[in-house]
Chain A
Amino acid sequence: MFDPIMEKLTEIAQDAWLFLAGLLVMVALLGGLYFALQGAAGAAFGGARATSMAILGGIGIVILVLFAFLVIPQLGELLRGLQPAPPF
């Protein structure tokens, strides 16, 4: 009885995962562009603080994307191993 629900849930979850991952890539690309523009403008007009903030922001975006694509699947593997059997 629960197998069709499980299959449908897995299917929806895979679609949602792909959607979220794609959205994250898009946000990261736009963010990278934004920080590159901010850094270029800062460098052009002598804004050292703006340039350094842009560099830090770009690094932060890269770290976030790496975290999402490397750490979360590992967390998933860890949690998959902890799935409990029915206690009754």
Chain B
Amino acid sequence: MSRLLNLLMDFFGRAWYLLVAALFIFGLLGLLAQVLRSAAALLTGSRRGWAVALSSFAGLIFIVLFGFLGVPALAAAVNVAAASPACGPLASIGQSAAQVLAAMAALRMLIAFVRTSAGLAAGGPFEISAALVECGEAVIGMLLAVAAGPLAAHFLGIC
């Protein structure tokens, strides 16, 4: 069981590094794309295009910073919640499942930010709200999943 958990965590760790690198790459490309867009707006005299490019530039920096600083903090908080004491015959399985769920929630949050930054780098609309909503979904779903085990155990009278 422990070996399987280590294997899964190693896999998730590698995926985390890939996603962080993708967020970094798409963030930088997006910043350059926004500068290009603002240069084009300056040439064509489009004030709206200039404003959109500037706001997208600032938003992209926010997205990358949130992905690098906010998501690990949220994931660590979820990890702490997942490490709550369990009981009963399936306690170790529950703990392992909670760790795996926490890792998947962290990856899902990071994927949302990677998708947003990739969209911005490709010239798409600025949709940070979708990424933040997905973060909230991941955290709430994770907390519900962690709480389900102990609640069921208490309900069944196991502990």
Contacts and interface: CB of A to CB of B under 8 A. Distances in A.
Interface in B60-118: 61, 64-65, 68-69, 71-73, 75-76, 79, 99, 102-103, 106
Nearest to A14: B25
A2 B18 contact: yes
A88 B29 contact: no
Contacts, number: 109
A28 B39 contact: yes
Contacts of A27: 36, 39-40, 43
Interface residues of B, number: 43
A79 B32 contact: no
Nearest to A21: B32
Nearest to B33: A20
Contact of A84 (B20, B27, B43, B79): B20
B55 to A, nearest CB: 16
A27 B20 CA distance: 31
B12 A84 contact: no
Contacts of B26: 13
Given A17-B28, A88-B9, A72 B35 contact: yes
A17 to B, nearest CB: 6
From A30, A64, A87, name the one whose CB has the most chain B CB atoms within 10 angstroms.
Answer: A87
A88 B79 contact: yes
B28 A2 contact: no
B65 A82 contact: yes
B39 to A, nearest CB: 5
